[in-house]
Structure 1
Amino acid sequence: MSKRPPGIVLISVVVLLEALALLCAAAWYAYELVSGAPVLTFWGAVFTLGLLLVFSAWLFAVGHFLFRGYRWTRAAALVAQLFVMTIGFPTMTGGLVLPGLAMIIPAAAAIIFLFNKSVITYASRVGGAQGAL
Structure 2
Amino acid sequence: MSRPTEPVPHLRPAGVAVIGGILLLEALGFLGVGGLFLSSLAMGDLVSVGGTVFLAVFLILLAIWLVVLARALWRGFRWPRSAALVIQLFLVILSVSFFSSGSVAIGLAMLVPGAVVLIALFTRPVLDFTSRATGETRTL
The interval holding the TM-score normalised by the smaller chain is 0.7 to 0.9
1:87 aligns with 2:94: yes
- Distance in 2 (alpha carbons) for counterparts of 1:35 and 1:105: 33
Question: Which piece of structure 1 moves more, 93-102 or 11-20?
Answer: 93-102
- Cα distance in 2 for partners of 1:66, 1:103 equals 21
1:14 and 2:19 are equivalent in the alignment: no
Question: 2:73 aligns to what?
Answer: 66
Corresponding letter in the other structure for 1:68:
R
> 1:130 maps to what in 2?
none
Which of residues 53, 58, 61 in structure 2 aligns to 1:54?
61
Q: What displacement does 1:85 show?
A: 0.4
Select 1:124's aligned residue among 101, 117, 131. Answer: 131
Structure 2 residue ranges without an equivalent (≥5): 1-8, 133-138
Query: Which residue of the partner structure matches residue 4 of structure 1?
Result: 12
Normalising to structure 1: TM-score of the pair?
0.87
Structure (1 or 2) with the larger CA radius of gyration: 2
Aligned to 2:136: none
**Cα offset, 1:84, TM superposition:** 0.7
Distance 2:117 2:56 in 1: 26
Q: CA RMSD in A?
A: 1.5
Partner SS, residue 82 of structure 1: helix
Q: Which amino acid aligns with 1:81?
A: Q
Letter in 2 for 1:51: F
> d(CA) in 1 for partners of 2:100 and 2:45?
28
Which deviates more from structure 2 when the two are superposed, residues 118-127 or residues 81-90? 118-127
CA contact (8 A) 2:77 2:130 kept: yes
Deviation at 1:37, TM superposition (A): 1.7
Relative to the length of structure 2, the TM-score reads 0.83
**Mapped contact 2:37–2:53 kept (Cα < 8 A):** no
Secondary structure class of the residue paired with 2:10: coil
Output the amino acid matched with 1:10: V
In structure 1, runs of 5+ residues without a counterpart are: 128-133
The reply on whether 1:38 has 2:46 as its aligned counterpart is yes
